[in-house]
Structure 1
Amino acid sequence: GLAIFSNENANKYVVHSYNFFLFPSTLGVTDVEFTLSASSIQFLSHYGFDYNKFLKDGIPYMNEVQEKMLSQHLLEGSWKVSSSLDRDVLKKAIDEVTCWIATAKEEETMTLQDLSGYQMIEVQLVLRHALQNVWTQPLGDRKVMVKKVSPQHRRLLENSSYDFCQKDLILMSARGFTNLFRTLVKAKKPLVGHNMFMDLMHLHDKFYKPLPESYEEFKRNIHNLFPVLIDTKTVTKSIWKQCLFPRASNLLEVCTVLCSSRLNPEDPMCPVIAFASDCSRYAEKKSPHEAGYDAFLCGSVLLKSAHLLLCRSTDDGVKADPSFSQYLSVLAEYLNKVNFIRGGVSSINFSGEDAPCQHPPALVVHVRGLPGLNERQIYQEFKALCRFDVRQLSKNQFILLSNKFKQLVLRDYKQHPHLRVSFYRHWRHSPSVNCLLQVSSIVALWSLLAFVLGRAP
């Protein structure tokens, strides 16, 4: 989802909001694998996600490494079709052309039909590579024209304005959404997101380069791509503390609270946000969890939050229409600080050093008399007290990790009949250490036994 906010005049912002259905490029690139969780599919289905559009008409994308591989294949004339469906279509097309060309005369043509997507490019590349006396041209509507030509005529047509299989054109088509990504990078506009750490990882991996091994290199790369990042989660977390901001579980609730009269009273200087005419659907109906609408909510939360902070920073209120540069100034302490969920730091600083890491103590849960408990059940048991990440340590032990440890967890479970909670101690609770100690004990016991038996008369 992408929402572009344009400051039309004074305090009015016009929003153009877009949804992009993306699907990995399959043109001459190693077959891409991705996973889907059942719960995610259910969630997206509930909110009307169009899986047909995603799978059948998804916009391709690729990163620089994949583009380099494709470019090399095009340069060498070597071609690989990764899809079995495309291979079948290709074989059928080659058979048709081979039968036809044996009796065809120069300048005669035939039409290949029912080709979709990249099949139209792949068929042309393979035919041109295999047969030096044919020329191909897309006709639109899933059709490709094949013409028998002389080798001399073929050389004249290659790389001319009539050649729709030029390397640059193929690469542009295969890059798909990556072309837009590079436009956004070139524009150097502030990039706004909500809880955007995973989004940044996907942007880096899918459209720029595979994620590096080095954390610092990842930070540098992202900062070079997008010098100004604003995470509305980081901003609103601060407002919670300053303005007794009510807790909100999703972006729509955050936006609703910020627009409430208590936090943002009627203020003629408050930013007015309007949808462009081609996005009027969102003005008529809320569409939470639809990417384009969530992008709109994110930008709205930013503007409302910035205006609220600007009002609180001046004693006599805002007297003139605030500019976006004023909003950026009041947001200065939050720039490039991206929220990090349940970590040793609250946010990651993409333009400098991170704050010192402070890890709360890990807890270990000992289960007695309740065989077969799993991580989800342990999570459900403790979620009312504190939000933990749960990992099974052994058959009857689970480790709990949180960025906000609460002492009452230890207190409330002190007398629990089945669950005992204590601080995690590596030398005491680590399965690998326990295994090492057990092996050492066995070795020591056998050594002692051998020593005793060896001394026996």
Structure 2
Amino acid sequence: MCDVKRDEFLRLLPDIKQKIQDCDFVAIDTEFTGLCLSEACQPSLFDTPQERYRKLRQTVGSFIICQVGVSVFKKDMKYNRFDVWSYNFHLFPQSFATLDVRFGCQASSLEFLCHHNFDFNKFVYEGVPYLDQDQEKQLRKHLEQTCWPSAGGSQQDQLQLCCSMVSQWLSNGGGTELNIPAPKGPLMFLIHRALRTSFPEIWTYDAANSQIAVRKVSQEKRKEEEEKDDLADRALASLLGFTHVFRALTQTGKPVVGHNMLMDLMLLYSKMHKPLPEKYSHFKRDIHQLFPCIYDTKHIAAELKKPLAEFAVLQSSILQELFDALNSHKGRFMVLHSPAIVAAAECDRYTNESHPHEAGYDSYMAGYVFIRMSHLLTMQGISKQQPVPPRFRRYLEVLKGFQDRVNVIRASVDHICLSGEDPASRRPQWLYITLAQSKAARTINSAQIAERFSAYGSVDIRPLDGSHFLVAAHSFYCAKDILRAYRSHKLIHVTYYNMWKHSSTVQVLLWTCIGVSVLGIAWTFLSKSS
């Protein structure tokens, strides 16, 4: 199946929903029009989970999803295999009535998509629409009205042109039927409603080749057609589009798998559900209610690198590299009862061709590596006398400790927990930099410090003032190497950060407390003396 286009979406939807209902788990992936709203939203090793959420919330509000991949996996115990159905949805918000979404694009993100052969024509011309809850309520309100408002501009021009064609046809006596070319998408519903409202002696029908058939009808026939009219329901179903799939995923409660999926989850929540809450804790509560069982393969791969070191297939947590290693002969057959992973006949493009950063393909890879890692961990140390392959639920039991743990890149923590308390930071203690009081040292800025220290590993710099800086290092090795290298440096003094010693705010509060205490003691002493 792979690509799902707007024109065929509603026809395929029942089968897609049934596949989700019957599956063992679903893997997802998204592509989007931008990755970072501004420099202030860039990820930093200083970021707490709350700070990272705040940054991503700003970014998500400005960009949209342009592609969603959904891969559905079902275990066939008889043949010890997983059958896979992969769907690649291009998404594009449709204007209708007063709904007219505005969104931003980031040049680097579009260049990245271009580099990976993203089809922008499909995105715009064939993208499936979607709505969040507020947009759906707004649309329902419009559909209850007799006359549906258009979004103006070209829509209004098209409506007037169609009305003029019908008016001229009627003034010429009106033949048996008039066929009007109609654009695909929501505008077709607006044309139907505008013609029916403007001309009480006609009724409109869908015709072949994207046309609207106009027929003169009696009052009795029109009343009969009005009673069974489902135009509003059809318009709503069409405009909800991918939201139907999103709701199917949330209603079934099936395990959802992704790779480095925090941004994916926030985008889906924002575009298909409702605006992201201000509080990070509220987002965690809500997303856990929507998706009660989540697995992030990037986090799992990073955590299993040492426990599964004997297999030497988890050297990288990059999705494509992880997939290549686990899809190799060694990756597939190093333990007993390794299951086959077989794409359905209509979805086999991803087994024969590589399409990195196509959302459908990435969702397929995420689900694939999830199965392979689950099986390796489940069968590690199992005797060759094990009689039967493990069931899928056994995988979930073995991976229970990874459930709802979502990877976070370049932050104070390496993952967050959606169903409980976030983990403590495993990053090294911050470093504290003091520049020497010399003319040469005064020319050193945070960018130069970052450039110097990057030779030892990944770091982020936070200036405190002209001569003091904080350094967050990615690893303990990096922090120790920096301390060792700058132990006797003439211009840059580096030590571990101590809040009580180095924080000006804490020092002010401390001295204020001391001052208050001294004044209190003095007042007590003077009161007793008098």
* TM-score using structure 1 length: 0.81
SS in 2 for 1:172: helix
Partner of residue 340, structure 1: 408
User: Is the 2:308–2:377 Cα contact (8 Å) retained in structure 1?
Assistant: no
SS in 2 for 1:16: strand
Match status 1:130 vs 2:198: yes
Structure 2, unaligned stretches of length 5 or more?
1-68, 507-530
Cα distance in 2 between the residues matched to 1:140 and 1:78 = 26
Do the aligned partners of residues 400 and 155 (structure 1) sit closer, same or farther apart at CA in structure 2, a change above 3 Å counting? farther
Do the aligned partners of residues 252 and 432 (structure 1) sit closer, same or farther apart at CA in structure 2, a change above 3 Å counting? same
Question: Equivalent of 1:293, from 352, 361, 378?
Answer: 361
Do the aligned partners of residues 100 and 333 (structure 1) sit closer, same or farther apart at CA in structure 2, a change above 3 Å counting? same
Structure 1, unaligned stretches of length 5 or more?
434-457
Match status 1:387 vs 2:452: no
Q: Could you give the per-residue CA deviations for residues 33-81 of structure 1, whole angstroms, max 9, x where no partner exists? A: 2222222212211211111101111011111111111001111345343
User: Is the 1:212–1:218 Cα contact (8 Å) retained in structure 2?
Assistant: yes
Question: Equivalent of 2:222, from 134, 154, 158?
Answer: 154
User: Is the 1:228–1:336 Cα contact (8 Å) retained in structure 2?
Assistant: yes
User: Is the 2:70–2:360 Cα contact (8 Å) retained in structure 1?
Assistant: yes
Partner of residue 485, structure 2: 412
Report the more deviating stretch, 406-415 or 279-288: 406-415
CA positional deviation for 1:148: 3.7
Question: Equivalent of 1:38, from 97, 107, 116?
Answer: 107
SS in 2 for 1:407: helix
Cα distance in 2 between the residues matched to 1:90 and 1:399 = 62
SS in 2 for 1:158: helix
Question: Equivalent of 1:47, from 111, 116, 119?
Answer: 116
Q: Report the residue type matching 2:258 in the other structure.
A: G
User: Is the 1:388–1:401 Cα contact (8 Å) retained in structure 2?
Assistant: yes
CA positional deviation for 1:280: 2.4
Q: Could you give the per-residue CA deviations for residues 205-234 of structure 1, whole angstroms, max 9, x where no partner exists? A: 111222122322222222222221111112
Cα distance in 1 between the residues matched to 2:159 and 2:461 = 50
User: Is the 1:6–1:13 Cα contact (8 Å) retained in structure 2?
Assistant: yes
Report the more deviating stretch, 192-201 or 336-345: 336-345
Q: Could you give the per-residue CA deviations for residues 405-444 of structure 1, whole angstroms, max 9, x where no partner exists? A: 62323443567788776777999999999xxxxxxxxxxx
Q: Report the residue type matching 1:24 in the other structure.
A: P
Partner of residue 281, structure 2: 216
Q: Could you give the per-residue CA deviations for residues 134-180 of structure 1, whole angstroms, max 9, x where no partner exists? A: 322221323212334455432221142xx351x22211111111112
Report the more deviating stretch, 28-37 or 294-303: 28-37
Do the aligned partners of residues 152 and 267 (structure 1) sit closer, same or farther apart at CA in structure 2, a change above 3 Å counting? same
Cα distance in 2 between the residues matched to 1:425 and 1:4 = 50
Report the more deviating stretch, 318-327 or 418-427: 418-427
Cα distance in 1 between the residues matched to 2:262 and 2:363 = 15
Partner of residue 307, structure 2: 242
Partner of residue 453, structure 1: none
Cα distance in 2 between the residues matched to 1:28 and 1:154 = 25
Match status 1:326 vs 2:394: yes
CA positional deviation for 1:115: 2.0
Do the aligned partners of residues 254 and 29 (structure 1) sit closer, same or farther apart at CA in structure 2, a change above 3 Å counting? farther
CA positional deviation for 1:358: 6.8
Partner of residue 298, structure 2: 233
User: Is the 2:147–2:194 Cα contact (8 Å) retained in structure 1?
Assistant: no
Q: Report the residue type matching 1:183 in the other structure.
A: A
Cα distance in 1 between the residues matched to 2:160 and 2:463 = 52
CA positional deviation for 1:349: 1.9
Report the more deviating stretch, 108-117 or 423-432: 423-432
Report the more deviating stretch, 54-63 or 175-184: 175-184
Partner of residue 174, structure 1: 239
User: Is the 1:105–1:148 Cα contact (8 Å) retained in structure 2?
Assistant: no
Do the aligned partners of residues 432 and 78 (structure 1) sit closer, same or farther apart at CA in structure 2, a change above 3 Å counting? farther
User: Is the 2:335–2:379 Cα contact (8 Å) retained in structure 1?
Assistant: no
SS in 2 for 1:76: coil
SS in 2 for 1:286: coil
CA positional deviation for 1:284: 2.0
State, as a whole percentage, how many aligned pairs show the same letter. 36
Do the aligned partners of residues 173 and 319 (structure 1) sit closer, same or farther apart at CA in structure 2, a change above 3 Å counting? same
User: Is the 2:93–2:129 Cα contact (8 Å) retained in structure 1?
Assistant: yes
CA positional deviation for 1:83: 6.0
Q: Report the residue type matching 1:147 in the other structure.
A: R
Do the aligned partners of residues 356 and 317 (structure 1) sit closer, same or farther apart at CA in structure 2, a change above 3 Å counting? farther
User: Is the 1:219–1:350 Cα contact (8 Å) retained in structure 2?
Assistant: yes
Partner of residue 251, structure 1: 319
CA positional deviation for 1:345: 3.1
Partner of residue 446, structure 1: none
Do the aligned partners of residues 263 and 107 (structure 1) sit closer, same or farther apart at CA in structure 2, a change above 3 Å counting? closer
Cα distance in 2 between the residues matched to 1:71 and 1:289 = 36
Match status 1:111 vs 2:176: no
Question: Equivalent of 1:20, from 86, 89, 103?
Answer: 89
* TM-score using structure 2 length: 0.70
User: Is the 2:412–2:426 Cα contact (8 Å) retained in structure 1?
Assistant: yes
Q: Could you give the per-residue CA deviations for residues 164-203 of structure 1, whole angstroms, max 9, x where no partner exists? A: 51x2221111111111222222222111111111111111
User: Is the 1:60–1:175 Cα contact (8 Å) retained in structure 2?
Assistant: yes
What is the aligned-residue RMSD (CA, Å)? 3.6
User: Is the 2:404–2:419 Cα contact (8 Å) retained in structure 1?
Assistant: yes
Partner of residue 201, structure 1: 266
Cα distance in 2 between the residues matched to 1:33 and 1:417 = 54
The structure whose RCO (Cα within 8 Å, separation 6+) is larger is: 2
Cα distance in 2 between the residues matched to 1:129 and 1:418 = 80
User: Is the 2:186–2:238 Cα contact (8 Å) retained in structure 1?
Assistant: no
Cα distance in 2 between the residues matched to 1:222 and 1:96 = 50
CA positional deviation for 1:235: 1.1
Do the aligned partners of residues 287 and 358 (structure 1) sit closer, same or farther apart at CA in structure 2, a change above 3 Å counting? closer
CA positional deviation for 1:3: 1.2
